Amino acid sequence: MIDLYTFTTPNGRKPAVMLEELELPYTIHKVNISKGEQFSSEYVAINPNSKIPAIIDRDTDISIFESGAILIYLAEKTGKLLPTEPKKRAQVIEWLMFQMANIGPMFGQLGHFRNSAPEEIPYAIARYEKETQRLLGVLEHQLENNEFITGEYSIADIATFPWILISPYLVSVDQYINVQRWIETMRSRKAVQIGMAILTPEFSSNYGAVA
């Protein structure tokens, strides 16, 4: 059994999609970051960085924070969605890190400065918008000859999808035809649909339940 501590953000949805794909039983614990629940002493004991998501694997008594680390842990636990062949494994890991180090932070900064900053800062908006467009271009090129990011469906796709799904709210994506095709392919997966719906009235799972 996996205890999943999460909220309805792109990072928070990644492990739910993963758990659905793996068909692992899990319990969702809502950590409402809009109310500061991530700073509670109980949660800090699980994740000292006070961010979501985090998991506790009750089978092994191992706790993991950082969404990328969670995906790797679950993939290695089950032997799924992360190749064991060295070259293919390296490709999946590098594209997972591409999301963690680039797409998440840059998209997040653009969203902050465009929608949440107390004052408009045109330089910051322009800087992060340009970088967001560049990153979408990198992904567009990668998907030109690949159905999924590294060819076969993997944790790289699971990590990237929730962030790319919000990109139309940040920049125009009409020119990224391969990205749009990939989005629709991802959307068609039942596990993705369920995992993305966590903590909403639409959530219905054979494997997950809200605590």
Q: What is the mean pLDDT of residues 12-21?
A: 98
- For position 22, what pLDDT does the model report? 98
- Split at pLDDT 50, 70, 90, the class of 44 is very high
65 and 38 in a common domain: yes
77-114 tens-digit pLDDT: 999 999 999 999 999 999 999 999 999 999 999 999 99
54 and 17 in a common domain: yes
Domain count, the chain: 2
93 and 151 in a common domain: yes
63 and 48 in a common domain: yes
Half-sphere exposure of 176 (CA within 13 A, CB side): 24
User: Using alpha carbons only, what angle is made at residue 104 by residues 166 and 118, rounded to the nearest 5 degrees?
Assistant: 75
Beta strands at 54-57 and 2-6: parallel, antiparallel or unpaired: antiparallel
The CA distance from 148 to 21, in Å, is: 15
150-199 tens-digit pLDDT: 999 999 999 999 999 999 999 999 999 999 999 999 999 999 999 999 99
Tell me which residue range forms the domain holding 14. 2-81+192-210
Burial code (b: 16+ CB inside 10 Å, e: under 16) for 42-68 equals: ebeebbeebbbbbbbbeeeeeebbbbb
CATH of the domain at 40: 3.40.30.10
68 and 117 in a common domain: no
206 and 165 in a common domain: no
72 and 51 in a common domain: yes
Residue 64 pairs in a beta bridge with 55
185 and 90 in a common domain: yes
Neighbours of 15 (CB within 10 A): 29
Q: Return mean pLDDT, the chain.
A: 97
**pTM (2 decimals)?**
0.96
43 and 7 in a common domain: yes
134 and 184 in a common domain: yes
103 and 60 in a common domain: no
157 and 65 in a common domain: no
The CA distance from 27 to 209, in Å, is: 5
194 contact partners, CB below 8 Å, separation of at least 6: 16, 17, 20, 203, 204, 205, 208
CATH of the domain at 147: 1.20.1050.10
112-142 tens-digit pLDDT: 999 999 999 999 999 999 999 999 999 999 9
